[in-house]
Amino acid sequence: MIAILVTLVAVLIQWLPTSASKQMDRIEFVYWFATIICIGIFSLVMAVLIYSVATFRAPPEDESDGPSIHGHTGLEIVWTVVPAILVIAIGVLSAVVLSQNGTAGTNPMTIKVFAQQFAWRFEYPDSDGLKSGELVLPVDRNITFEMNSADVIHSFWIPEMGQKQDLVPGIDTSIVITPTRTGTFALICTELCGLGHSTMRATVEVLSQTDFDAWVKKQQAGGGTGGSGAAVFASNCGGCHAFTPAGTSSKIGPNLDNVAADAEKAGEDPAAYVKESIVDPTKVLAPGYTETNMPTSFGDDLSAEEIDALVTYLTEAQQ
């Protein structure tokens, strides 16, 4: 009875998020294949154990030895052969799924992923090197993610899509994901990478191929991230900086609500001060800071239009 109850709880509760990729479907299959075998064996062992404890219990005054048992060839063969078959089956299935999940197959596309404390950036080489702070994917395409980290180890994970991969400085890593349904998901950094680790997230949008093509066109026409300081801020700066107009509150970097006052203290024009702080963050430190761990690569990573839009946003959004 207990075994049946435990089995029902284990099988009927939805423990995993609803799958949104082919790879997650396969991972779930391996997971439940192994787990159901485990539940079966656990139930069997527990049932025999509890039955034996209840039935063969010696009375309190009986201190004699139990009967001596010397082996049972049939039983030994069974408990060797059955687990061997099960373990081999789990091993073979896992190897097949691992290999399938690593194969890009037909109609593939490539997206480059760059991680740095504490932001994600994406580049679409198949769309003339289009850059984005939001991960937009076409449904039913085999997408190879080629990954790089600028500083420490980060890890790429979209829970509904199963696949998880570390981004390691100096090493090129990759994974394949085939989204199977449209919708909005979250990309989560799942490697403790510093103070802002918990804020290192990006939005994942899975679109139909037609909507995806329209999105690419719109971005290339300048209607996307390049045109909006708020979008550039959200995908690059919000993980570390508090800024009231953007609704962010992280305390890793200086609060940017005070940039005008800080610029005055540094004796500079606010726009020039903000631009300099983005491109060369070590030159002038904000009041109260004795050092900075802000990446020095934004001058190269962001386009001139993105930097201008960001400067305008930071200096004018509050007024």
Which residues of this protein are in contact with ligand CUA, per CB under 6 A? 115, 118, 154, 189, 191-193, 197, 200
Instruction: Between 175 and 274, name the residue whose CB sits nearer to ligand CUA.
Output: 175
The region that residue 307 occupies, defined by phi over 0 for left and psi between -120 and 50 for alpha, beta otherwise, is alpha
CB of 192 to ligand CUA, least distance (A): 6
Least separation in angstroms between residue 118's CB and ligand CUA is 6
Integer-rounded Cα Rg, in Å, for the chain is 28
Which residue, 120 or 124, has its beta carbon nearer to ligand CUA? 120
Residue 6 vs 152, nearer CB to ligand CUA: 152
Task: Check whether the bond before 212 is cis (ω within 30° of 0).
Answer: no
**C-beta of 159: minimal distance to ligand CUA in Å?**
15
We find the least distance from the C-beta atom of residue 15 to ligand CUA, in angstroms, to be 24
Structure tokens at 270: 């606010």
Distance of closest approach, residue 275 Cβ to ligand CUA, in angstroms: 26
In angstroms, what is the minimal distance from the CB of 198 to ligand CUA? Answer: 8
Element (H, E) at 315: helix 304-316
Q: Which of 116, 119, 158, 155 is nearest to 136 (CA)?
A: 158
- Provide the minimum distance between the beta carbon of 148 and ligand CUA in the complex, in angstroms, as a whole number: 13
Residue with tokens 């719109």: 218
Residue with Cβ nearer ligand CUA (170 or 267): 170
DSSP label of 123: E
By beta-carbon proximity to ligand CUA, the closer residue of 193 and 234 is 193
Q: Which is closer to ligand CUA, CB of 118 or CB of 298?
A: 118
Evaluated on CA atoms 298, 303, 304, 305, the torsion sign reads: negative
Tokens of 105: 């197959």
Closest to ligand CUA by CB, 27 or 167: 167
Neighbouring residues of 276: CB distance < 8 A, sequence distance ≥ 6: 268, 283, 284
Cβ-based burial of 233 (10 A; exposed 0-12, middle 13-18, buried ≥19): buried
Rounded to whole angstroms, what are the CA distances from 312 to 168, 180, 275? Answer: 34, 39, 10
